[in-house]
Structure 1
Amino acid sequence: MRRLLDGAELARLFARFTRSAWRFETQAEYREVSEAEPYRRFLAGELGEDRSWMTEWLRSVTASTRQGRSFARVRVVAYPPTDYQRFEMAVAPDNEAAGEDIRVLAAQRARGLRLPAQDFWLFDDAVLALMHFGAGTLTGIEVTTDVARVEQYRAHRLRAWSHAVPLSEHMTIS
């Protein structure tokens, strides 16, 4: 039986990592409560510059990167992108400005590379957090330090990273 983390335990993973936090994002849509109103505004063409709903995350990334810790991710994007993926790309420059390195990988390419269809975080190359979703909603996070599994997902990260394009390049070609 797997044990799923609660929010406080996930927050501790972010507080405790010392070198790197790396994310693989595969979902076509995420239904985060904090994003519901900004996403609605985006769809209505009214998103504007208000990123107050992202403030806590952006502060955390900025503080971490100033301490020499890295944040990076690969976002798997469909072509054409879903409305939610367009929303993600619209706010991604704010994440980069905070210090996060974001790359983009076409969904078809990710499938060809046999990458998992599951989101995950790798912390310090030693802790794997597998994210479980149901209908775009996070249902739990399974954490393991099993060396073989962590190594498997480090290999996924390497393949994804080496085939993804930097966000700035993606923005100029999409």
Structure 2
Amino acid sequence: MPELISGAAFGALFREFESSAWRWEAQGTYNQPDEVEPWQRWRDGVPVLDDLEWLRSWLDDIRAATEVGKVFQRVRMLTEPLTEYLRWQMEVTPANVDAGEEIRLLTQAAASRLALPEHDFWIFDRVRVAVLHYGPGGLIGAEIVTEPATVARYEQWRKIAWAEAVSYEDFVKT
């Protein structure tokens, strides 16, 4: 297993980047401990956008970063059919978009056709990649990659995914 960072060291990546943070999100379900209760409330019929306190810190960080010109973007791969988790996330997404994050969506079939990876990652400033590693209890940590040829491969995946994905706003119109 490669060396992984987590906790404060992982969180620092989101405070220290200079211009852009980009995410490829390829899992149908994430078992993040901080999402268990809000996801259950959604299952119980509580409207998602009425109950975002669990996400407030993240939304505030996105808003603060984008207000000073930094870019947060992500492409979320959608399973076919959508998992229950992804149905919930689709209802959470407007809050991320309102905070300033650009979110695009790509079907699992398209991701497969485009040979995009099955693992999640963040690219920071197009020079550092955080390859995310998950276990049954959620995120274990991130492997940091800075080797130029490997970063270039991730950058190519970013370009392909971004070009092929549909904006959240356009997706929900259809």
TM-score of Structure 1 vs Structure 2, range by shorter chain? over 0.9
Deviation at 1:136, TM superposition (A): 6.5
The alignment status of 1:153 with 2:154, answered yes or no, reads: yes
Deviation at 1:172, TM superposition (A): 2.1
Tell me how far apart the structure 1 counterparts of residues 93 and 58 of structure 2 sit (CA, whole Å). Answer: 12
Tell me how far apart the structure 1 counterparts of residues 69 and 143 of structure 2 sit (CA, whole Å). Answer: 27
Deviation at 1:151, TM superposition (A): 0.3
C-alpha contact (below 8 Å) 1:23/1:74 kept by paired residues: yes
Kindly provide the amino acid, as one letter, of the partner of residue 73 in structure 1.
Answer: R
Which residue matches 1:165? 166
Equivalent positions of 1:5-84 (< 5 A) are: 5-48=5-48, 49-84=50-85
Which residue matches 2:2? 2
Kindly provide the amino acid, as one letter, of the partner of residue 10 in structure 1.
Answer: F
Does the residue aligned with 1:84 lie in a helix, a strand or coil? helix
C-alpha contact (below 8 Å) 2:33/2:138 kept by paired residues: no
Tell me how far apart the structure 2 counterparts of residues 128 and 145 of structure 1 sit (CA, whole Å). Answer: 7
Tell me how far apart the structure 1 counterparts of residues 55 and 138 of structure 2 sit (CA, whole Å). Answer: 18
Deviation at 1:134, TM superposition (A): 2.3
TM-score where L is the length of structure 2: 0.96
Does the residue aligned with 2:143 lie in a helix, a strand or coil? strand
Does the residue aligned with 2:55 lie in a helix, a strand or coil? helix
Tell me how far apart the structure 1 counterparts of residues 51 and 11 of structure 2 sit (CA, whole Å). Answer: 24
Deviation at 1:42, TM superposition (A): 1.2
Tell me how far apart the structure 1 counterparts of residues 28 and 56 of structure 2 sit (CA, whole Å). Answer: 23
Which residue matches 1:135? 136
Structure 2's unaligned 5+ residue stretches are none
Residues 85 and 136 of structure 1: CA distance in aligned 2, closer, same or farther (over 3 Å): farther
TM-score where L is the length of structure 1: 0.96
Kindly provide the amino acid, as one letter, of the partner of residue 148 in structure 1.
Answer: A
- What number of residue pairs does the alignment pair up? 173
C-alpha contact (below 8 Å) 1:27/1:136 kept by paired residues: no
Does the residue aligned with 1:74 lie in a helix, a strand or coil? strand
Q: CA RMSD in A?
A: 1.1
Query: Which of structure 1's runs of 4+ aligned residues deviate more than 6 A?
Result: none
Structure 1's unaligned 5+ residue stretches are none
C-alpha contact (below 8 Å) 2:75/2:104 kept by paired residues: yes
Deviation at 1:167, TM superposition (A): 0.1
Tell me how far apart the structure 1 counterparts of residues 102 and 20 of structure 2 sit (CA, whole Å). Answer: 11
The alignment status of 1:93 with 2:81, answered yes or no, reads: no
Kindly provide the amino acid, as one letter, of the partner of residue 15 in structure 2.
Answer: A
